[in-house]
Amino acid sequence: MTKARDLANGGFGLVLIKPSSVVNGTDNGKGTVSFSGVTSVSLNDVFNATYTNYKMILNDVTPPSPGAEITFRMRVSGSDNSTSGNYMWGKIGLEFDGSASNGNGGASATSFNIDFNDSANGISGAFDIYTPFVTTDVTRFSGVSQSHRTDYTNSWFRTSAGNMTVTTSYTGLTLICGSGNMSGSISVYGYNQ
């Protein structure tokens, strides 16, 4: 049975957002952006006044070598905010068999660090991004990623979170590979309220 409140918001909670333009990637026409052999991929104009909070989905993001960091920066008017000290973040991970865990953070960073690759098998993840467009609160994020390994002892997940230290209105973001080139896809959804 469809409730009146579901009809009022179009019947769905997440809306895939089509970027106005993409740097180093290809939009499939609906908003999912694929990329291959790039150091970064930027999505312009995915945040606006229509939605307050958003979800970023990463699929099979494959850095070239173990230990390559995956980060992202907030973006406005076609430019990234790369100012040192504008980002704070922390992350912690655990192998599926519980044999190893690790965590670290950045108190004065130039981007949000969300994961690093332990192998060439890639990662996928879902991350909520809170209030990126409004200036009444800082932009924050939280989410979980996991490896694509099929062996139990080397498979892992990581959870990460962070916030900006400035109340800038952002309209886009840039996903970055810390060393070498990456491939995969990225989508941004707005939470329909």
Under a CB-based contact definition with an 8 Å cutoff, are residues 39 and 175 in contact? no
User: Exposed (0-12), middle (13-18) or buried (19+): which is 84, by Cβ within 10 Å?
Assistant: exposed
What's the pTM value of the predicted model, to 2 decimals?
Answer: 0.90
Q: What does the pLDDT read at residue 102?
A: 81
Low-confidence ranges of the chain (pLDDT < 50): 1-9
Q: Supply the Cα-derived Rg of the chain in whole angstroms.
A: 17
Q: What does the pLDDT read at residue 4?
A: 41
E strand segments, the chain: 14-16, 21-23, 26-27, 33-38, 40-44, 53-62, 69-76, 79-80, 87-95, 101-109, 112-116, 123-130, 140-147, 156-164, 172-177, 182-191
Cα-based torsion angle of the residue sequence 82, 109, 63, 31 in order, rounded to the nearest 10 degrees? -50
Q: What does the pLDDT read at residue 115?
A: 82
| Whether CATH 3.40.50 fits 10-191 | no
Residues 116, 37: Cα–Cα separation, whole Å: 17
**What residue ranges do the domains of the chain occupy?**
10-191
